[in-house]
Amino acid sequence: MGTKERRAREKEQLRQQILVAARELFVNEGYENISMRKIANKIEYSPTTIYLYFKDKADLLDSVCQETLLNLLNTLEQLKRDESDPVEALRKSGRTYVEFGLKYPQDYKLTFVIRPQFQKGLGLEEGSVGEKVFNYLREMVSECVQQKRFRQMDVETTGQVLWSAVHGVTLLLIDFPDFPWTEKDELIDTVIHTTIEGLKA
């Protein structure tokens, strides 16, 4: 490995170290209570070093959330490649989305609850990873409509209905673990099944 490649790898390793530290502090102490200096202290670097990688704290939070969304997108796209039936792919995608949120609850809340409190919007700007995640859902809904598996309907509205269902059950299960839910897997599957069945042709 040449000097240039080694330096690039070391830079990426430090960037990831900063992201890991920021994610942990944002979750445990609250985004509003964290400074760039506190993040720098955690990884034992100067704040100046962090500013070489991230413009400010908002940029750092956005990068943490973009990384979460990219992991989600990669998981969903792999599933779509493995399933040819669009309705079944959509059903499995909904299940995968909820399971992702429950597996990474801190990352999920940072992305969909905490970030919108401090930055305008949900990170779905044109060209963003968030937009690509939602486009994935749009494409799957569109495929179901084109194959006449779903009724003829507005794809944007239908996509938002599906996202509302899976986001709602994900966030409720994260925020209220002590609520006397019915069996968790049955609850998740019923939410997804009921929503999809209501859209069928």
Give the model confidence (pLDDT) of 57-108 as tens digits. 999 999 999 999 999 999 988 887 777 889 999 999 999 999 999 999 989 9
Specify the pTM. 0.86
pLDDT digits (tens, 9 = 90+) for 129-187: 888 888 899 999 999 999 999 989 899 999 999 999 999 999 999 999 999 999 999 99
**Range list for CATH 1.10.357.10 in the chain:** 57-197
- For the domain 57-197, what is the CATH superfamily, name and number? Tetracycline Repressor, domain 2 (1.10.357.10)
In the chain, CATH 1.10.10.60 sits at 1-54
The residue length of the chain stands at: 201
Angle of helix 3-29 relative to helix 57-82, nearest 10 degrees?
100
- 174, 108 contact by CB (below 8 A): yes
pLDDT, the chain, mean? 90
Any idea which fold 1-54 has?
Answer: Arc Repressor Mutant, subunit A (1.10.10)
Amino acid, res. 191: V
> pLDDT, tens digit, for every residue of 17-62?
999 999 999 988 989 999 999 999 999 999 999 999 999 999 999 9
Q: Is 37 exposed, middle or buried (0-12, 13-18, 19+ CB in 10 A)?
A: exposed
Q: Inform me whether the pLDDT recorded for 11 exceeds 80.
A: yes
- Residue-by-residue DSSP string for 43-105: HTS-HHHHHTT-SSHHHHHHHHHHHHHHHHHHHHHHHHHH---HHHHHHHHHHHHHHHHHHSH
Radius of gyration (C-alpha) of the chain in whole angstroms: 19
Whose CA is closest to 91, among 196, 200, 199, 190? 196
Q: Which pLDDT band, with edges at 50, 70 and 90, does 1 fall under?
A: low
pLDDT at position 92, please?
A: 93
* pLDDT value of residue 18: 95
CB count, 10 Å around CB of 120?
A: 7
- Residue pair 194/162 in contact by the 8 Å Cβ criterion: no
Predicted local distance difference test score (pLDDT) of residue 129: 87
* Cα–Cα distances in angstroms (integers) from residue 31 to residues 28, 104, 123, 186, in the given order: 9, 17, 17, 34
